[in-house]
Chain A
């Protein structure tokens, strides 16, 4: 499983998305389950899955899937092709 698939599974789990709802362009305002607790859950899930601990600022600033990917890529976690 590549990193893109891992992130898709994580967000699908945390946000209770149907498979067809997930896309790289998904933003916080697109899905009602991306609430403040989801921000905490995504941060915890990212640490568990990718080994990187979001700072509180990074966690709050991540308002879409591409923001999460950008933050992780800056830390050397590759999402090549995303």
Chain B
């Protein structure tokens, strides 16, 4: 449907419509029409979308596109971007990720995510490569068939999908996948050997960015660093800096031009540094290291706690999922609770505790370790931070006692 009638209407296209007719996006991209591509699985009313799009000034109603994103709270916001900029970014990613040999891309994430949209849909459209749509891991048989049929294929995943590969496909191999990109969360550095077994001919890349960057800022080859926190070097034209309190900021010639959030349209000024929401610092070789989200680094008993550093240590011995939520402990200090999924065996828990003891002093240890059958997730696949602390279905595996 269109947000408004007339020449300057914004076309709303849902994920399901694209699944039914893959050429809808091709047509909308080539037309001057500005369109909003929104997920099918978000519980957003058409009224909310229409009301938000009504805020868009006339000059943004041609040659732009709009994607939706949600933070860990699940509050939606719309990101307005320019088609020409996104095309240049898709081309830059193609070069940075040695994409030339890839002849097709297999989509196993919703295409309406900025990551999948630019790295896959737009890459395929702009470079005239084949796009294979799937419903991802929700229909594992279909995904397996697509990966089996892959010929010189590229695909994009998020780190949380890696354990599913082993769980659903066992020791099956997919030799036709030659490029594998990760973004949208922690890079699965500790699973590289397993990934090379599953995809024996693959070259793996770590992508970093944020929705406002639409969406890439840096790329690195998996083998070029040993830490998941290393996101590599900025793409050509992208600038990064660590501002006050190590807040990572960027400027980019590809970035979004406006944001609609909280019933407000906010143009983004190209000359301004924008926050990524992460903390970071430059390494000596010029690559960038993520120190965690701002909310993931805090003081506890006077010590600086980094949840990503704790996660990295634990994931040396824990292959399942892991997330944190924050609370205040019984002594009134900031504290963090670690949530594992699925429930660990006793020996696995002992191994996790041994890693914590080996690498950290007590203030860094979680106040509690809990487990669930699976982590609660938002439709965007991000962990649902609000639901994580709800008590239903939770087992306390270990606690600091006090």
The yes or no answer to A68 lying at the interface (CB within 8 A) is no
Contact A42:B353 (CB < 8 A) given known A35-B362, A37-B301, A37-B363: no
- Residues of chain B within 8 A of A41, CB atoms compared: 400-402
- From residue 16 to 72 of chain A, which have CB atoms closer than 8 A to chain B? 16, 18, 33, 35, 37-38, 40-45, 48
Bound form: Cα–Cα A29–B357 in Å: 16
Out of A18, A35, A45, A48, name the residue touching B361 (CB < 8 Å).
Answer: A35
**Contact between A48 and B356, CB atoms less than 8 A apart:** no
CB 8 Å contact bits of B170-206 with A (1 = contact, 0 = none): 0000000000000000000000000000000000000
Bound form: Cα–Cα A43–B400 in Å: 11
- Residues of chain B within 8 A of A38, CB atoms compared: 362
Out of A10, A37, A42, A44, name the residue touching B362 (CB < 8 Å).
Answer: A37
- Residues of chain A within 8 A of B356, CB atoms compared: 16
- Residues of chain A within 8 A of B398, CB atoms compared: 13
- Residues of chain B within 8 A of A42, CB atoms compared: 401
Bound form: Cα–Cα A16–B351 in Å: 10
- Residues of chain B within 8 A of A37, CB atoms compared: 301, 362-363, 400, 402
Contact A33:B362 (CB < 8 A) given known A16-B357, A18-B354: yes
Name the distance in Å between A58's Cβ and chain B's nearest Cβ: 16
Q: Which residue of B lies closest to A47 (CB)?
A: B401
Bound form: Cα–Cα A41–B330 in Å: 11
Other 17 A-B pairs with CB < 8 A, given A18-B354, A37-B301, A41-B402: A13-B401, A14-B400, A16-B356, A16-B357, A16-B365, A18-B350, A33-B357, A35-B361, A37-B362, A37-B363, A37-B400, A38-B362, A40-B331, A40-B402, A41-B400, A43-B402, A45-B401
Name the distance in Å between A78's Cβ and chain B's nearest Cβ: 22
**Contact between A16 and B353, CB atoms less than 8 A apart:** yes
- From residue 53 to 109 of chain B, which have CB atoms closer than 8 A to chain A? none
Give chain B's interface residue range (CB within 8 Å of chain A): 10 to 19
CB 8 Å contact bits of B335-378 with A (1 = contact, 0 = none): 00000000000000010011011000111010000000000000
Bound form: Cα–Cα A45–B399 in Å: 10
Most buried by A among B301, B357, B363, B401: B401
- Residues of chain A within 8 A of B363, CB atoms compared: 37
- Residues of chain B within 8 A of A18, CB atoms compared: 350, 354
Q: Which residue of B lies closest to A44 (CB)?
A: B402
Q: Which residue of B lies closest to A49 (CB)?
A: B401
Give A contacts to B, CB under 8 Å: 10, 13-14, 16, 18, 33, 35, 37-38, 40-45, 48
- Residues of chain A within 8 A of B350, CB atoms compared: 18
Bound form: Cα–Cα A33–B365 in Å: 11
Bound form: Cα–Cα A68–B301 in Å: 26
Q: Which residue of A lies closest to B399 (CB)?
A: A13
**Contact between B401 and A44, CB atoms less than 8 A apart:** yes
Name the distance in Å between B84's Cβ and chain A's nearest Cβ: 56
- Residues of chain A within 8 A of B365, CB atoms compared: 16
Q: Which residue of A lies closest to B365 (CB)?
A: A16
Give 7 closest A-B pairs by Cβ, nearest first.
A16-B357, A41-B401, A44-B402, A45-B401, A41-B402, A40-B402, A44-B401
Bound form: Cα–Cα A24–B362 in Å: 23
- Residues of chain A within 8 A of B353, CB atoms compared: 16
Name the distance in Å between B331's Cβ and chain A's nearest Cβ: 7
Q: Which residue of B lies closest to A17 (CB)?
A: B357
Name the distance in Å between B314's Cβ and chain A's nearest Cβ: 13
Name the distance in Å between B362's Cβ and chain A's nearest Cβ: 5
- Residues of chain B within 8 A of A43, CB atoms compared: 402
- Residues of chain B within 8 A of A35, CB atoms compared: 361-362
Q: Which residue of A lies closest to B363 (CB)?
A: A37
Bound form: Cα–Cα A6–B41 in Å: 50
Bound form: Cα–Cα A16–B356 in Å: 9
Name the distance in Å between A14's Cβ and chain B's nearest Cβ: 6
Name 21 A/B residue pairs within 8 A (Cβ), A-sorted.
A13-B401, A14-B400, A16-B353, A16-B354, A16-B356, A16-B365, A18-B350, A18-B354, A33-B362, A35-B361, A35-B362, A37-B362, A37-B363, A37-B402, A38-B362, A40-B331, A40-B402, A41-B400, A42-B401, A45-B401, A45-B402
Name the distance in Å between A43's Cβ and chain B's nearest Cβ: 8
Name the distance in Å between B397's Cβ and chain A's nearest Cβ: 10
Most buried by A among B350, B357, B362, B365: B362
Bound form: Cα–Cα A25–B104 in Å: 66
